[in-house]
Amino acid sequence: MRLEAELVYESCPYCCESRVDYLVWQEDDETVLCLSCGKTYRPGEHK
């Protein structure tokens, strides 16, 4: 079973967090907040 949801949950580039519970999409639908390190990033595949 592959872990590919409809939404792209790309691992955090800062701390490599990959657990979806720690990756929260922001209201702009482009940015993900990593609760593990507190940084936000934009998953590369999201357009």
Using CB under 5 A, list all residues that contact Zn ion: 12, 14-15, 17, 34, 36-37
Q: Which is nearer to Zn ion, 1 or 21 (CB)?
A: 21
Which sign, positive or negative, has the C-alpha torsion 16, 18, 22, 23?
positive
CB closer to Zn ion, 1 vs 41: 41
From the number of C-beta atoms within 10 Å of its C-beta (0-12, 13-18, 19+), residue 20 rates as: exposed
The least distance separating Zn ion from the CB of residue 41, rounded to whole angstroms, comes to: 8
Report the residue number, 28 or 34, with the smaller CB distance to Zn ion.
34
The tokens of 7 are what? 């939404």
